[in-house]
C-alpha cells in the first residue's frame, strides 16, 4: 500500500531529513513511526501525502509514484488519504459539523448523504453532541478527535496521523489509540507517528524507528 524505496529528502540549506529510507506497509497494516523529535517522522508522512517531494528514491502509494505526480493529480491522491495533523488545522470560522463536512464538500457529495456521514464520523469519535460547538470551545483531546473525524469522514483507505497523542494525557491517548485500533480492524491502513513510547507498550504492532533520518529497525509484531 505504501512503499518507500531508498528515499532521500534534503531541505534547502543542506539539512538532510531522511537518508536512504526503504520500507513497505501492506494493505490493512497498522504501523507506528517512532523517533526523537527532528528524526524525520513528519517529513516521512509529508512525503506520503506529497506535501513534500523526495530528492531521490521513490514513494509509492497504491502503486502510484506520488513523488512524480503532477500538481493537477494531487487532489485525487489526497482524497484517498485521511490525514491527522500535528497542529490539527481545524477551522475556527465554522462549527464542528462544518469542519467535518469540508472533505465531503470538496468531493461533491450531496447534502443528505454528507450529513449522514458527518454524524456517523462524529459519533465514532464521541463528539456527536458537540456538532454545533465552535472547535475553539473544545478541549485539546476533543480537538484531536475532531481532527480524526474529519480525516475518516471520507472513508479513506489510508490514514496518516502525525503525533496524534502528542499533547494529551495518558487517558485521552488511550482513547485515541482505541479509535485507531477500531479502524485497523475494519481494514484501514494506518501509519501513526509518535514519540510517546507509552502508547506502544500494550500494542503488538509494527514499529518503524527513525534516528536522524535513518531507519533503524522495522520490528514486526
Stretch that binds another protein, among 103-111, 119-127, 130-138, 205-213 (CB under 8 A): 103-111
Count of beta carbons in the 10 Å neighbourhood of residue 112:
8
Residue 111 within binding range of another protein, rule CB under 8 A: yes
Furthest C-alpha separation in the chain = 50
Q: In whole angstroms, how close is the CB of 201 to another protein at the nearest point?
A: 32
Site for another protein contains 83 (CB under 8 A): yes
DSSP notation for 4-26: EEEEEEE-TTS-EEEEEEEEEE-
- Minimum CB separation from another protein for residue 206, in Å? 26
Q: CB 51 → another protein: shortest distance, Å?
A: 6
* 93 touches another protein by CB under 8 A: yes
Binding segment for another protein (CB under 8 A), chosen from 85-93, 178-186, 190-198, 205-213, is 85-93
Q: Indicate which single residue of 76, 155, 170, 198 sits in contact with another protein (rule: CB under 8 A).
A: 76
- Rounded to 5°, angle at Cα 51 from 45 and 55: 85
Computed on alpha carbons and rounded to an integer, the radius of gyration of the chain in Å comes to 17
Q: Which of residues 149-168 bind another protein (CB under 8 A)?
A: 150, 154
CB 33 within 8 A of CB 210: yes
Is residue 180 close enough to count as binding another protein by CB under 8 A? no
Judge whether 173 and 200 are in contact, CB under 8 Å.
Answer: no
Strands across the sheet with 214-219, in order?
Answer: 81-84, 158-162, 189-193, 30-34, 206-211, 214-219
The answer to whether residue 105 forms part of the interface with another protein (CB under 8 A) is yes
Grid coordinates in use for 194? 509518535
Which one, 114 or 194, has the nearer CB to another protein? 114
Binding site for another protein (CB under 8 A): 49, 51, 72, 74-79, 81, 83, 85, 89, 91, 93, 102-103, 105-108, 110-111, 150, 154
Amino acid at each position: 500500500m505504501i512503499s518507500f524505496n531508498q528515499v532521500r529528502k534534503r531541505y534547502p540549506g543542506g539539512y538532510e531529513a531522511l537518508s536512504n529510507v526503504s520500507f513497505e506497509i501492506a494493505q490493512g497494516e497498522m504501523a507506528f513511526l517512532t523517533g526523537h523529535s527532528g528524526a524525520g517522522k513528519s517529513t516521512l508522512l509529508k512525503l506520503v501525502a506529497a506535501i513534500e517531494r523526495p530528492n531521490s528514491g521513490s514513494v509509492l502509494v497504491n502503486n502510484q509514484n506520488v513523488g512524480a505526480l503532477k500538481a493537477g493529480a494531487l487532489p485525487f491522491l489526497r482524497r484517498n488519504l485521511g490525514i491527522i495533523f500535528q497542529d490539527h488545522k481545524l477551522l475556527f470560522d465554522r462549527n464542528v459539523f462544518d469542519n467535518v463536512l469540508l472533505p465531503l464538500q470538496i468531493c461533491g457529495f450531496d447534502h443528505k448523504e454528507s450529513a449522514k456521514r458527518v454524524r456517523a464520523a462524529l459519533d465514532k469519535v464521541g463528539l456527536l453532541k458537540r456538532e454545533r460547538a465552535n472547535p475553539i470551545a473544545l478541549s485539546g483531546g476533543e480537538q484531536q478527535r475532531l481532527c480524526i473525524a474529519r480525516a475518516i469522514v471520507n472513508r479513506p483507505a489510508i490514514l496518516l496521523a502525525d503525533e496524534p497523542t502528542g499533547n494529551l494525557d495518558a487517558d485521552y491517548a488511550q482513547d485515541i489509540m482505541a479509535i485507531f485500533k477500531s479502524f485497523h480492524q475494519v481494514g484501514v491502513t494506518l501509519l501513526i507517528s509518535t514519540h510517546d513510547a507509552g502508547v506502544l507498550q500494550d500494542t503488538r504492532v509494527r514499529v518503524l524507528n527513525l534516528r536522524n533520518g535513518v531507519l533503524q529497525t522495522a520490528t514486526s509484531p
